[in-house]
Amino acid sequence: MRLIDADALKSKLQARHDNGNDDFDKGYNIGLGTAIDLIDCAPTIETEQKERPQGEWICTFHSTFPQYEPDEYRCSICNCVGNKRDKFCNVCGAQMKGGKE
Ligand SMILES: [Zn+2]
């Protein structure tokens, strides 16, 4: 997950949307309008949450035969299964211990 300024992105898309007036632009504008709608529907991070939570991958299943069945790792924040090599949890966005942005 990468935090971006959704309002700035929406403003740029809206400016391009408003500049096109010929037949070619009509189809282009439909796509831009869809993108703007998707930004409006995207989940938001609470404003009080100024920093990413810091978590770590916790091994919840240690395989006896890793070549056939891999170890299982879970996020210490949300308990979802993830890949211990990921820098961030794909579900809650926590930065994992040892990971760099
Ligand atoms: Zn998580």
- What's the 84 CA to ligand 1 centre distance in angstroms? 12
For residue 63, being part of any structural domain is answered with yes
Among candidate residues 76, 70, 79, the one with its CA nearest the CA of residue 95 = 76
- What's the 19 CA to ligand 1 centre distance in angstroms? 41
pLDDT reported for residue 91: 83
- What's the 45 CA to ligand 1 centre distance in angstroms? 14
Round to whole Å and give the CA distance between 89 and 53: 10
Domain range for 22 is 6-41
What is the CA angle 56-68-65, rounded to 5? 75
pLDDT reported for residue 77: 92
- What's the 76 CA to ligand 1 centre distance in angstroms? 7
- What's the 88 CA to ligand 1 centre distance in angstroms? 8
3-state secondary structure of 10: helix
For residue 47, being part of any structural domain is answered with no
Shared domain check, 69 and 95? yes
- What's the 97 CA to ligand 1 centre distance in angstroms? 12
Round to whole Å and give the CA distance between 42 and 50: 18
| 41-72 as b/e: b if 16+ CB within 10 A | eeeeeeeeeeebeebbbeeeeeeeeeeeeeee
pLDDT reported for residue 50: 64
Shared domain check, 29 and 67? no
Blockwise average pLDDT, block size 10, the chain, 101 residues: 83 86 80 90 68 90 87 92 90 78 48
